[in-house]
Amino acid sequence: MSDHMIETTLSELERYYDTVPRAGGARAEDFGPLTLFVQEGDGWQYYARPALGGAGATAADVERVRARQRELGVPEAFEWVAENSPSLRTAVEAAGLHVHAHPLMVLDPAAAAVPALPEVRLLGADDPLLTAAVTVPALGFAEPGTAVGEAGVAELAAATADPEAGARRDRVSAMLASGRTVMAAAARDGVVLSSGQYNPVGDVAEVVGVATLPAARRRGLALGVTAALVARARESGIRTVFLSAGDEDVARVYARLGFRRVATALIAEPPAA
């Protein structure tokens, strides 16, 4: 990808990040150079991020947002693209937050399609596999990285019986029905082993929540799930597909599908107690 393409894509991503919480029903609170997105009711809690076209924020701006986040009882989280808001990291760190960096990757438009896996399919809003598919990420993200781990089918069955799994299912089902998300899952013998989603806004989509049960890792399932998402995104006319990879090991999986690192996604939160 040329430097010009990367620059254009980074501006598109800035608009995407500003639109997606609003499209999801979040309220945007204006803090000058920063915007705090607040989700009403139950569900995914958003973050604060640079206001679209806003000037550089100071540590005092970050503090004002943190005070409001504490008042609302929402996470003191900030997310942004390092290259788009180069001075924010210093301000956020001066305010006492801890910053994590993640490779921000964009699918090369020239990437060749990867053959589909027979056990992978897209899920509809009423799919019987949906509760398991939305629960796999809870187990997967509890064991970050790409190594094989312990949690498997028995742990998934226990986790899907939890009422929180039903609530998560209902939220994702509503998003699937309204076209705000697309979900794919890999299942064997009716058991979901890996799943992932993409969230489209116009012709830009972010791939999110890709996870494989720790006991089912290193068999090509996440590659297959992400390939199915990419194929559907392309068929639906999405021009820009992007994602933030957990770390360099995870980024390698996406690189096999033609995702290229173009920038760094930064997430800030209070240091662990």
Ligand X SMILES: CC(C)(COP(=O)(O)OP(=O)(O)OC[C@H]1O[C@@H](n2cnc3c(N)ncnc32)[C@H](O)[C@@H]1OP(=O)(O)O)[C@@H](O)C(=O)NCCC(=O)NCCS
C-beta of 207: minimal distance to ligand X in Å?
A: 8
Indicate the residue among 33 and 246 with the shorter CB distance to ligand X. Answer: 246
Helix 248-255 / helix 221-235 crossing angle, nearest 10 deg: 50
Indicate the residue among 170 and 247 with the shorter CB distance to ligand X. Answer: 247
- Vertex 148, ends 45 and 265: CA angle to 5°? 35
State the Cα–Cα distance between residues 106 and 18, nearest whole angstrom: 18
- Give the residue ranges of DSSP H helices in 75-219: 88-94, 130-141, 153-160, 163-178
Instruction: Name, in order, each residue with C-beta under 8 angstroms of 149's C-beta and a sequence gap of 6 or more.
Output: 143, 214, 215, 217
Indicate the residue among 97 and 151 with the shorter CB distance to ligand X. Answer: 151
Indicate the residue among 43 and 220 with the shorter CB distance to ligand X. Answer: 220
Q: Is 212 in the site for ligand X (CB under 6 A)?
A: yes
Could you tell me how many residues of this chain bind ligand X (CB under 6 A)? 22
C-beta of 220: minimal distance to ligand X in Å?
A: 4
Q: Which residue is nearest to ligand X (CB)?
A: 222
Chosen residue from 21, 103, 246, 258 binding ligand X by CB under 6 A: 246
Q: Is 103 in the site for ligand X (CB under 6 A)?
A: no
Site for ligand X in 122-141 (CB under 6 A): 140-141
Q: Is 253 in the site for ligand X (CB under 6 A)?
A: yes
State the Cα–Cα distance between residues 135 and 138, nearest whole angstrom: 5
| Binding piece for ligand X, criterion CB under 6 A, among 54-62, 127-135, 162-170, 238-246 | 238-246
Q: Is 218 in the site for ligand X (CB under 6 A)?
A: yes
Taking the C-alpha atoms of 109, 232, 173 and 213 in order, what is their torsion angle to the nearest 10 degrees?
A: -80
Residue 142: C-alpha distances to residues 82, 158, 168, 267 (Å): 26, 15, 16, 18
Chosen residue from 187, 245, 257, 268 binding ligand X by CB under 6 A: 245
Chosen residue from 222, 230, 241, 262 binding ligand X by CB under 6 A: 222
Contact positions vs ligand X (CB under 6 A): 140-141, 144, 146, 194, 210-212, 217-223, 243, 245-246, 249-250, 252-253
